[in-house]
Amino acid sequence: MSREPRTRGRVTLVGAGPGAPDLITLRGAAAVRDADVILYDELASEELLRLASSGALTINVGRRGHDAPTRNQEEVNALIVEHARAGRAVVRLKGGDPFVFGRGGEEASACVEAGLAFEVVPGVSSALAAAAYAGIPVTDRRHSASFAVVTGHKDPTRVSEETRWAALGTAVDTLVILMGMRNLEELVSRIVAGGKDPETPAAVVMEGTLPNQRVVEAPLSQLVERVRRAGLGAPAAVVVGDVVKLRKTLAWWEHQPLFGMRVLVTRSEEQAGDMLAALRERGAEPVPIPMIHLVEPQDATPLDRALGRIEDYDAILFTSQNAVRFFSDRALDLGVDLAAVGAQVVCVGPRTAELASERGLPVHLVPSKRFDAESMLAEIVAQVPPRGRRFLLPQSEVARAVLADGLRAAGGEVERVTVYRNLPPDVNAEGLRADLIAGRLDALTFTSPSTARNFVAMLDTEAREAAKRCVVAAIGRVTAETLEHADLPAQVVARESGGRQLVESLAAHVVSQRSPHWPGASSEPSDGESTERPTEGAT
C-alpha cells in the first residue's frame, strides 16, 4: 500500500554507480529508501530496488546503451513531473552519474520548467570506475596529466553530429569512450587518422566493477580485432593511452580470490547483509536464496511468563544471535528492562555476545574455545556450578537438547522457551535445481543445520550430484555434520558464525586449491542445533 503523498513533491536524480550495487553513495541509498516513486534504468542494479520501502512504486523506464528505450526521454520527463506534482518523493535512478551522458540535465530542466524542486546526487561514473577496476588510472603523473570522456553513441560518420575524434586523439593523454562498442571500428580509425600512434596501448572493459568483468588489452590498431575475437560487447568502456600499460601490475579486481564465482547464500534475508557485502568485496556474485524463515512463536505465553519473572532465574543462556534478537524484541514490547537483569548472561560465542551487549544485556561468560552447545555446557559446569540453579534457555523450537539435558544432569533446573520458529523457505526449488545441474553455481554456503537440511530436501538425484561438484562451505561443526549425514560433505568449515568469517574461510580454500602464488591468497556457530551458527541462531 502506497504511503500518503507529501503536500509538495520533490525530485532526486540519483547516480546508481557503474554496476556494482555497493558503489552507490550513502546519500543515494538514503534517497532510494525514502522514495515514493522510483524510475530506474536497465543499467541501475535491480538489487538497489531492494532498498526501497515496501510501498514504493518502481517503474522501469529502460535505456540500456543502444537498445531502444522502454520510454523515450519526453515520456520519462512527463512521469517525473506527474508524480512530483502529486506530492510524491520521486527518485530517478540512473546508471553511473546523472550528469555524465545520463540526460540528467534534461530531466533537471524539465523540473525547472514545471516549477518543481530537484536535487542531484552524483554517482560513480563508469568512465572512472571501469578503468579503476581494470587497474587503469586515467591519470598518472608518469604517463598522463589529462583525460577526456566522450560518448561513442553517435555515428562518427555523420559530420553534423560528429565529435572531433581526430583532435581528441592527440589533445589529451587518456581518452575514455563510453557507449562506443557499436561504432568501435570507425572510432578507432578516426583516432588513428587524426595522428594517434597506432601502437598506443588501449583496452576495453566490459561489465566493469562486476564479477563477470572482462578486459581486452591491445595496441590501438589491433584493438577492434582482439575485441571481436574475445566476443566483448556493451556495456563497456574503452580506454586509450599509455596509462593502460599500468594494468599489468595494477590489475586487482580479477585477482580477488572469489572473482567470477557465483556463490549461493542460504542465510536468512535479515542476516545476510554482511555476507553479501563480503562476497562482493572478494569478487564473487552472491546468489541469495534464503533456506530459512524465522518468525515469532505461535504462542508467546511461555516467553512472556518467563520475562515477567526474569528475576527468578540465576542465568540466561543464549545459543544464537537469533535467540537474542527475538528475546530482546519481546522484552522491549513488554517494557522489560534487560539492563537491570540480575541473572548471569552466558552466550555461545562472541558474535552472540556482541549482539546481546548491543541489546542491553550484561554478558558474563562466553566459551573460550569452541562455540557450540557442548563447549558452552563445559564452561558453565566449570564456572557456574548448575546444582540448585535455575537456567532460562530461550531457543528455536528445533534447537538441540544437548545444553538443557546436560545442565539437568548436573543438577540444574532448566526452563526452555521458544522465542522463534524456523519455517521452511518459499523457494523456487525447480529453478535452484536447474542452476545446479547447469553449473551456474560454483559454491554453496550454509550457516546452520536448518539451512543445510532445507537445501538438501529440495534436491533430486541429479541436482544432488551437481551440488557435490560445488565448493561446499559451512559454519560450525554441527552444520558440517548435518551436511556429512546428507552425503554433501563440506570442504570448508568456518569456526566463527559471522558471514564475513565464512567468506574468508571460503576464499582461503579457493586460493589454496588454485595455487599458492595466487594474488588473492592470503568461524562462531548458532543455536537450535546449538552451535553458534548464523541461522538457528544467526541465520
State the DSSP string of 327-353: HHHHHHHHT--GGG--SEEEESSHHHH
pLDDT over 90 at 113, yes or no: yes
Residue 48 and residue 64: Cα distance in Å, rounded? 17
Helices marked H in 92-200 — which ranges? 104-114, 126-133, 165-171, 184-193
Which pLDDT score, from 0 to 100, does residue 185 have?
94
Residues 269 and 196 in one domain: no
Question: Would you say 41 and 95 are in contact if contact means Cβ atoms under 8 Å apart?
Answer: yes
Does residue 2 form part of some domain? no
Q: What burial letters (b/e) apply to 206-229, b meaning 16+ CB within 10 Å?
A: bbbbbbebbbbbbebbebbebbee
Residue 86 and residue 97: Cα distance in Å, rounded? 26
Residues 314 and 416 in one domain: yes
Residues 312 and 406 in one domain: yes
Residues 100 and 150 in one domain: no
Residues 54 and 133 in one domain: no
Does residue 520 form part of some domain? no
Which pLDDT score, from 0 to 100, does residue 8 have?
65
Does residue 257 form part of some domain? no
pLDDT over 50 at 279, yes or no: yes
Question: Would you say 252 and 282 are in contact if contact means Cβ atoms under 8 Å apart?
Answer: no
Residues 343 and 409 in one domain: yes
| 3-state DSSP assignment of residue 495 | coil
Residues 487 and 451 in one domain: yes
List all residues 6 or more positions away from 289 whose beta carbon is below 8 Å from its beta carbon. 264, 265, 266, 425, 427, 432
| 3-state DSSP assignment of residue 278 | helix
Residue 96 and residue 208: Cα distance in Å, rounded? 11
pLDDT over 50 at 300, yes or no: yes
CATH of the domain at 243: 3.30.950.10
CATH of the domain at 65: 3.40.1010.10
- How many residues make up the chain in this entry? 539
Does residue 276 form part of some domain? yes
Residue 314 and residue 390: Cα distance in Å, rounded? 5
CB count within 10 Å of CB 521 equals 15
pLDDT over 80 at 217, yes or no: yes
Residues 485 and 369 in one domain: no
| pTM for the model | 0.80
Does residue 537 form part of some domain? no
Select from 105, 123, 141 the last residue of a domain. Answer: 123
Select from 123, 144, 171 the last residue of a domain. Answer: 123
List all residues 6 or more positions away from 195 whose beta carbon is below 8 Å from its beta carbon. 166, 169, 170
Select from 250, 285, 306 the last residue of a domain. Answer: 250
Which pLDDT score, from 0 to 100, does residue 67 have?
53
**Strand positions, DSSP E, 269-379:** 285-288, 293-295, 315-318, 344-347, 363-365
Which pLDDT score, from 0 to 100, does residue 2 have?
45
**pLDDT tens string 79-92:** 999 999 999 999 99
For residue 62, name the pLDDT band (cuts at 50, 70, 90): confident
CATH of the domain at 392: 3.40.50.10090
What φ, ψ does residue 100 adopt, rounded to 5°? -115, 95
Q: Please give the average per-residue pLDDT across 369-396, as a whole number.
A: 86
Question: What is the DSSP code (8-state) at residue 161?
Answer: G
Q: Please give the average per-residue pLDDT across 295-315, as a whole number.
A: 91
Does residue 103 form part of some domain? yes
Does residue 99 form part of some domain? yes
- Domain with 16, as residue range(s), is 10-123
| Type and span of the H or E element at 222 | none
Helices marked H in 54-136 — which ranges? 73-85, 104-114, 126-133
For residue 505, name the pLDDT band (cuts at 50, 70, 90): very high
Which pLDDT score, from 0 to 100, does residue 534 have?
31
404's grid cell = 538443557
Residues 384 and 394 in one domain: yes
* pLDDT > 70: percent of the chain: 90
pLDDT over 80 at 44, yes or no: no
Residues 299 and 415 in one domain: yes
**pLDDT tens string 439-478:** 999 999 999 888 999 999 999 999 999 999 999 999 988 8
Does residue 338 form part of some domain? yes
Residues 447 and 483 in one domain: yes
Question: Exposure of 301 by Cβ count < 10 A (0-12 exposed, 13-18 middle, 19+ buried)?
Answer: exposed
Q: Number of structural domains, the chain? A: 4
Which pLDDT score, from 0 to 100, does residue 159 have?
40
Q: What is the mean pLDDT of the chain?
A: 87
Minimal CA–CA distance to 400: which of 225, 526, 534, 228?
526
